[in-house]
Amino acid sequence: MIWKQRITDRPFSYHFLDEDYNKLYQSDQRTSLLFSVAAGLAILLACLGLFGLAAFSTVQRTKEIGIRRVLGANVSSITLLVAKNFLQLVAIAIVAAIPLAWWAGDRWLQDFAFRIPVNVSVFIATAIITILIALFTVGFHTVKAALSNPAESLRTE
């Protein structure tokens, strides 16, 4: 009633404050979802590439694995021998990615009203998870090759 008396040319339009705040953060929520999907796809593609590369490397080194098994090497030493090359590449990737991720995260967090520092534990946990994924992926093929009969791997050309 008072609105119509004071402002006659414009209708009364109301909204809730929480709706305004939700509108402010909708773009951040969409960006978060987009980055989550993109990161998931990137991790999946990287794992598939690592899986294929580990399969190729294991097939190329089948005779070496067979000779090592005949000479008494255990499965864990063979797995670490083959995984060492892959872990070096993963370590280089981690060392290259951490400064870039820290910089990007710090720049992104500067846009918010309440700033928080980028925590080092996030990078340590990510590095450990990445190394475990690489070990699991490479270890699958290596253990499979190491457990196979060494006589058959040496006999086939």
| Alpha-carbon gap, residue 94 to 89, rounded angstroms | 9
Angle at the Cα of 139 from the Cα atoms of 135 and 144, rounded to 5 degrees: 175
Q: Are 144 and 75 in contact (CB under 8 A)?
A: no
Tell me if the pTM is above 0.85.
no
pLDDT given at position 1: 67
pLDDT given at position 40: 93
For every one of its 157 residues, what pLDDT tens digit does the chain have, with 9 covering 90 and above?
Answer: 687 788 878 887 878 888 888 888 888 889 889 999 999 999 899 889 988 988 898 888 888 888 888 888 888 888 888 888 888 989 999 999 999 999 988 888 887 778 788 889 999 999 999 999 888 888 888 888 888 877 777 776 5
pLDDT given at position 157: 56
pLDDT given at position 156: 62
94 Cβ neighbours under 8 A, 6+ residues apart: 127, 130, 131
Burial, 73: exposed, middle or buried (Cβ in 10 Å; 0-12, 13-18, 19+)? middle
pLDDT given at position 94: 93
Token code pair at residue 111: 């846009």
| Alpha-carbon gap, residue 40 to 54, rounded angstroms | 21
